[in-house]
Amino acid sequence: MTIAITGATGQLGRLVLSALLRLDVPREQLVAAGRSREKLRSLRELELTTARIDYGDPASLDAAFDGVDTVLLISSSEVGSRVDQHRNAVEAAVRAGVGRLVYTSALGADRGKLLLADEHLATEELVTGSGLPWTIVRNGWYTENFEPAVHYAAETGLVLSNAGDGRVASATREDYAEGVAAVLAQDGHAWQTYELSGDDAWDHDELAATLTRVLGREVVHRRLSPEQHLAALEESGVDEATARFLVALDANIEDGALELVTGDLSRLIGRPTTALEQALRTIAGDSYV
């Protein structure tokens, strides 16, 4: 069974490859496909077969998927262009006659609460309408996405948000990678949609309390309006587009877009997901108490 991992040069893709190797999937059964030639060279040094692909280049996808049994389609990072790019990948998988197509979507994509949901849901429709056996893996939020908040809290003693009492069921990127790898390496996951998230959902008051323990200094959550939060982000040097995205994301959190807890992820990986405090200590590293 040959598995092609698209986005293999990205953070999630590389972790999926590592997780598959830990599950004793033979190296010769893996195809690491990505856009960066330099990063692909580093994967070849690990004795992995590589393929350079571009979601905008159907011929590169045809070559990468030739003779492949399973394709993992890791969502593109190019917001606004993803549906067309993903369509190219799905159509290439159909032409190659792969045995299964797995797509990394977003938590609760069909609930319509997350600002990134539309492109994911449109891609899910492409995947499920392809005629190929499929699995949808809806990944929740990475705890690592809060790394800037960790450093800001270390400097100021503050967590800023307009998320109100909204909760986030985050897990680490490695947790999600292990879940995806389990789906790829095991039988019985065709025609399934999994909602992957952490075992516990936390709010920003709890985030601040956890950072107090991790950083060894008092950290408080300052609740802001969207306008106040946008101004604070821009004042701290965040560019306008990113600041607006973060403010919109907090509004999604307040609306419950990232609070879903299903237990799907811990069942797939056979252990509890990484606790918030443990993940934040890893993010903080040795720089703090």
Q: In order along the chain (289 residues), what is the average pLDDT of each group of 10 residues?
A: 95 96 96 92 90 95 97 89 94 97 96 88 97 98 96 96 98 98 95 98 98 97 97 93 95 96 98 98 76
What pLDDT is stored for residue 288 in this prediction? 56
Crossing angle for the helix pair 226-235 and 240-254, to the nearest 10 degrees: 150
Name residue 4's amino acid: A
What pLDDT is stored for residue 106 in this prediction? 95
**HSE-up of residue 121 (Cα within 13 Å, Cβ side):** 12
Nearest to 107 by CA among 136, 84, 145, 86: 136
Name residue 238's amino acid: V
pTM (predicted TM-score)? 0.95
What pLDDT is stored for residue 243 in this prediction? 94
What pLDDT is stored for residue 113 in this prediction? 82
What pLDDT is stored for residue 1 in this prediction? 85
What pLDDT is stored for residue 233 in this prediction? 94
What pLDDT is stored for residue 69 in this prediction? 97
Q: DSSP of 133-190, one letter per residue?
A: -EEEEEE--BGGGGHHHHHHHHHHSEEEES-TT--B--B-HHHHHHHHHHHHHSSS-T
What pLDDT is stored for residue 148 in this prediction? 93
Q: Please give the DSSP secondary-structure letter assigned to residue 273.
A: P
**HSE-up of residue 221 (Cα within 13 Å, Cβ side):** 18
What pLDDT is stored for residue 78 in this prediction? 83
Going from the C-alpha of 107 to that of each of 75, 96, 113, 140, 176, the distances in angstroms are 13, 29, 10, 5, 12
**What is the C-alpha to C-alpha distance for residues 97 and 68, in angstroms, rounded to an integer?**
8
Crossing angle for the helix pair 117-128 and 82-96, to the nearest 10 degrees: 20
CB 234 within 8 A of CB 240: yes
Going from the C-alpha of 235 to that of each of 6, 33, 140, 263, 278, the distances in angstroms are 37, 40, 29, 39, 30
Measured between alpha carbons, how far apart are the two ends of the chain, in Å?
Answer: 47
What pLDDT is stored for residue 3 in this prediction? 98
Nearest to 121 by CA among 137, 107, 109, 113: 109
**What is the C-alpha to C-alpha distance for residues 161 and 148, in angstroms, rounded to an integer?**
13
What pLDDT is stored for residue 285 in this prediction? 86
What pLDDT is stored for residue 287 in this prediction? 55
What pLDDT is stored for residue 46 in this prediction? 86
What pLDDT is stored for residue 114 in this prediction? 86
Going from the C-alpha of 101 to that of each of 107, 137, 139, 285, the distances in angstroms are 18, 11, 16, 37
**Maximum distance among all alpha carbons in the chain?**
57
Nearest to 207 by CA among 172, 176, 243, 169: 169
